[in-house]
Amino acid sequence: MKTACAGWLIVLAALVVQPVMAQTCSSTLVKTTGSERFRSQKDGSIYDLQTGLLWSACSYGQTWKSGVCSGSPVAVDLTGALLAVTDLTLAGYQGWRVPNINELQSLVEWSCVGPAADLAYFPDIRNNHYLSSSARDVDGAPVIQVLDFYSGRVRDALYDTSYLLLVRDMR
């Protein structure tokens, strides 16, 4: 009897598991990012011609190797993120920081979801929350804002940790 129940549980679990979703982009919406805006530095960094910011192509915890992001991203809280950027050298540069929510949202490719990013420049961006240095007041207490890269929407941080893209000023 236990074996039959375990078998049904496995079948039920297989039916409930969601398939892995790939990025979907609309052919009727104007692309908001791309080659007119970004330049790959070929060293794991992306220069944004519009804002003058330099971005890490990979999420924090990953390394750029032979044109791809390798390893797994590491989710951090804001304190961990601020400590991580101290004295960090990436792509030959120092001065990396946690982006504010406006900077982070400027990366959103509004014609795509799952993730809402230009994968030609940010090849391993996750369908997940990315940390910002911005906060808003909720009932007298600061709440950190995150960007949900699945849809490009700003959210209040509901989790202790989030992924992180690093940025630095170039102008």
Give the range of the structural domain holding residue 113, as residue numbers without chain letter.
23-169
What's the chain's average pLDDT? 86
Number of domains in the chain: 1
Task: Confirm whether 160 is domain-assigned.
Answer: yes
Per residue in 127-171, pLDDT (tens digit) is 999 999 999 888 888 889 999 999 999 999 866 899 999 999 997
Task: Confirm whether 83 is domain-assigned.
Answer: yes
pLDDT for 34 equals 75
Task: Confirm whether 7 is domain-assigned.
Answer: no
Please answer whether residues 57 and 46 qualify as being in contact, where contact means their C-beta atoms are separated by less than 8 angstroms. Answer: yes
Task: Confirm whether 4 is domain-assigned.
Answer: no
Tokens 């030609």 -> residue: 120
Exposure b/e, 64-103, CB count within 10 A at least 16 = b: beeeebeeebebbbbeebeebbeebebbebeebbbbebeb
Ramachandran angles phi, psi of 47, nearest 5°: -95, 130
Single-letter amino acid, residue 72: S
Task: Confirm whether 43 is domain-assigned.
Answer: yes
Question: What percent of the chain has pLDDT above 70?
Answer: 87
pTM score > 0.85 for this model? no
Per residue in 99-128, pLDDT (tens digit) is 999 999 999 999 999 999 999 999 999 999
pLDDT for 12 equals 36
Mean pLDDT of 6-22: 43
Task: Confirm whether 9 is domain-assigned.
Answer: no
pLDDT for 15 equals 35
Q: Which of 17-31, 33-47, 100-114, 154-168 has the lowest mean pLDDT?
A: 17-31
